[in-house]
Chain A
Amino acid sequence: MEKSYIVKQISIFSENRPGRLAAIAGALRDAGINIFAFSIAEADGFGVVRALVDRPDEAHRTLTDLGFRVSFTDVIGVKMRDEPGGLSDIASILGDAGINIEYAYAYSGRDGAVLILRVDQVEDAIRQILGRGGELLKASLSG
């Protein structure tokens, strides 16, 4: 049950220098893969590009073939009210349940705002959010 809400994020190792994001994005464009959301985390001289895409397996294969280091990371996507308090609602549910958010990023699309979360206890987080009336993205993002 909870498993169907675990979304595969692709994480790509990238050096912190001009042109790297362009190379990744260009490769996905050429493969006809759509990016719903993405973020960049950076450390000392390198970073990780994180993205939700419509066809994660194909994106993984395409980028790996080009020599990128890619891996999948389990995340969840929570629908947010696009108005004051939307983020607070979700953060409170997790906070109350003692679930830690490792990182998060958000996008606002046709169907409203979505908060993408990497948490330490993913199945627990899914149960808590659903149990308190929250709405989650299905793992099958395509379409």
Chain B
Amino acid sequence: METIRPDELADLQLKRLKWSLHQAQKVGLYQRKLKEAGVSPDDIRTLDDVEKLPFTYKKELRAGYPFGLFATPLKEIVRIHTTSGTTGKPTVVGYTRQDLENWSELIARNMTMIGLGEDDIFQNAVNYGLFTGGLGFHYGAEKIGMTVIPSATGNTRRQIEMIEDFGVTAIHCTPSYALHIAEVAESMGKTLDSLKTGIFGAEPWSESMRTELERRLGVKAYDSYGLSEMYGPGVAFECPERDGLHIWHDFYLTEIIDPKTGERLAPGERGELVITPLVKEALPLVRYRTGDVTRLMDDGCSCGRGPKIERITGRSDDMLVIRGINVFPSQIEHVLRALPEVGEQFIVYIDRVKHLDEMTIEVEMSRAGFSGELQDLARMQKKITGELHNTLGLRTAVKLVEPGSLPRFEGKAKRVVDRRGAI
């Protein structure tokens, strides 16, 4: 299934899309939405017809609290997870027995893809409970015969003792908890030699974080992507190439859209990921707006599996429109992080000067970036401006600032200051 031929995959996707729409028709919300959009499941004859279907938004899932969007009676639902619900009611996700089977299949596929199997000892150091990362990985790992330690989170010294005493070879946790484990292990003088594989997800993490985790934990680090609405983790996963994540096209139909207009974007263009799950029984969804920003990588992968998505680095809510061009702060971050002359921090200011949007980026210099010569600084400024122009298609003003002069953030960094007033 992982290396299925493209035409066979398309046939399978279309068959499953039709099934999924019939499943969605059992839900009041979708009966109403499809009626309003003037489409019925029978109007879907090709995969491109999916564009005729309406989007589903997170707020609609919340409005259905608790069981309003379930397509199966509760007696067929064998488990419930919920999202955190930081803004209002949580989103409730139900699973039939088949859903749980599908979900473990996905996790099993991901772990097999990176070479894990029955010889591995797996510590699942994430929150067990309503959070999908715990039980999701647990059952997937058992499915491929790994020796699973449901260590959950907390008591880091005990976690480290288990890694050492049980000879743990693979660990799953959030990247920030992994760093914490590394710090505590270092303070205990433990080198965690048995660890070979680290699976990290549930929060965004950078390539420099990958380098640090690999160096300090001695693992090969893999990015895992998922969302509770699509079962949980397992939706997309890095293969050993670690250049983009394989998304499982037989389970999920993916589109990339312009988050402002809703129009579908061409392969390779960056936009919001929209997913229509193809096999979900309890909570079928149609064109679900994930809010995550990525692009479909159309250049294939040497491992022979299907098209990948780029690592997710931003949220569509963060998108800026500058002189009519869509810009994601994550694109700016990508460009800057790739330049050795650029230090840790940057801030983007947007102003309206004489009815025109102007983007100014203050960039801290790195230690490597200063030769002592003014002309080298001017050349660096020009290089950064040029690289940004290549990626964004926009002229920006780059200001070099002293290291340490920009504000630091404890939690989520606020790197964009939009000073354009209301028009």
Q: Point out residues on A near B: beta carbons under 8 Å.
A: 9, 11, 13-15, 20, 41, 43-48, 67-73
Cβ–Cβ contact B402 & A13, under 8 A: yes
Closest 9 CB pairs of A and B: A11-B372, A71-B372, A69-B370, A67-B404, A73-B372, A41-B374, A45-B399, A48-B374, A46-B400
Contact status of A68 and B402, CB under 8 A, knowing A48-B373, A48-B374, A73-B372: yes
Q: Point out residues on B near A: beta carbons under 8 Å.
A: 365, 367, 369-374, 377-378, 381, 399-405
- Chain A residues, Cβ within 8 Å of B371: 71
Contact status of A43 and B374, CB under 8 A, knowing A13-B402, A15-B405, A69-B402: yes
Cβ–Cβ contact B374 & A44, under 8 A: no
Cβ–Cβ contact B369 & A69, under 8 A: yes
Least CB distance from B369 to A in Å reads: 7
Interface centre among A13, A20, A47, A69, by most chain B C-beta atoms within 10 angstroms, is A69
Contact status of A13 and B377, CB under 8 A, knowing A67-B402, A67-B404: yes
Q: B343: nearest residue on chain A (CB-CB)? A: A69
Interchain Cβ contacts under 8 Å between A and B, 8 examples? A9-B372, A11-B370, A15-B402, A43-B381, A46-B399, A67-B402, A67-B404, A73-B372
Least CB distance from B46 to A in Å reads: 54
- Bound form: Cα–Cα A11–B371 in Å: 8
Least CB distance from A16 to B in Å reads: 10
Cβ–Cβ contact B373 & A46, under 8 A: no
Q: A23: nearest residue on chain B (CB-CB)? A: B402
- Chain A residues, Cβ within 8 Å of B367: 69
Contact status of A71 and B377, CB under 8 A, knowing A15-B401, A46-B400: no
- Bound form: Cα–Cα A109–B374 in Å: 27
Contact status of A43 and B377, CB under 8 A, knowing A13-B365, A15-B402, A69-B365: yes
- Bound form: Cα–Cα A15–B402 in Å: 6
- Chain A residues, Cβ within 8 Å of B369: 69
- Bound form: Cα–Cα A32–B310 in Å: 54
- Chain B residues, Cβ within 8 Å of A9: 372
- Chain B residues, Cβ within 8 Å of A13: 365, 370, 377, 400, 402
Q: A69: nearest residue on chain B (CB-CB)? A: B370
Interface centre among B369, B374, B400, by most chain A C-beta atoms within 10 angstroms, is B374
Least CB distance from A116 to B in Å reads: 14
- Bound form: Cα–Cα A11–B372 in Å: 5
Beyond the given pairs A48-B372, A69-B402, 13 more chain A to chain B contacts, judged by CB atoms under 8 angstroms and listed by A's residue number, are A11-B370, A13-B370, A13-B377, A15-B401, A15-B405, A44-B381, A45-B400, A47-B374, A48-B373, A48-B374, A68-B402, A69-B403, A71-B371
- Chain B residues, Cβ within 8 Å of A47: 374
Cβ–Cβ contact A72 & B405, under 8 A: no
- Chain B residues, Cβ within 8 Å of A67: 402-404
Cβ–Cβ contact B365 & A73, under 8 A: no
Least CB distance from B384 to A in Å reads: 12
- Chain A residues, Cβ within 8 Å of B374: 41, 43, 47-48
- Bound form: Cα–Cα A115–B72 in Å: 87
- Chain A residues, Cβ within 8 Å of B373: 11, 48, 73
Cβ–Cβ contact B401 & A46, under 8 A: yes
- Chain B residues, Cβ within 8 Å of A20: 402
- Chain A residues, Cβ within 8 Å of B372: 9, 11, 48, 70-73
- Chain A residues, Cβ within 8 Å of B401: 15, 46
- Chain B residues, Cβ within 8 Å of A11: 370, 372-373
Interface centre among A9, A45, A70, by most chain B C-beta atoms within 10 angstroms, is A45
Least CB distance from A18 to B in Å reads: 13
Least CB distance from B57 to A in Å reads: 42
Q: B378: nearest residue on chain A (CB-CB)? A: A43
- Chain A residues, Cβ within 8 Å of B399: 44-46
- Bound form: Cα–Cα A69–B403 in Å: 7
- Chain B residues, Cβ within 8 Å of A41: 374
Q: A11: nearest residue on chain B (CB-CB)? A: B372
- Bound form: Cα–Cα A70–B403 in Å: 11
Question: Which single member of A15, A45, A71 contacts B370 (CB below 8 Å)?
Answer: A71
- Chain A residues, Cβ within 8 Å of B404: 67
- Bound form: Cα–Cα A130–B367 in Å: 36
- Bound form: Cα–Cα A36–B374 in Å: 21
- Bound form: Cα–Cα A93–B400 in Å: 37
Q: A14: nearest residue on chain B (CB-CB)? A: B402
Question: Which single member of B365, B370, B378, B405 contacts A44 (CB below 8 Å)?
Answer: B378
Q: B371: nearest residue on chain A (CB-CB)? A: A71
Least CB distance from A45 to B in Å reads: 5
Least CB distance from A52 to B in Å reads: 13
- Bound form: Cα–Cα A48–B373 in Å: 7
- Bound form: Cα–Cα A60–B98 in Å: 66
Least CB distance from B190 to A in Å reads: 32
- Bound form: Cα–Cα A67–B404 in Å: 7
Q: B360: nearest residue on chain A (CB-CB)? A: A45
- Bound form: Cα–Cα A67–B403 in Å: 6
- Bound form: Cα–Cα A47–B399 in Å: 11
Least CB distance from A118 to B in Å reads: 9
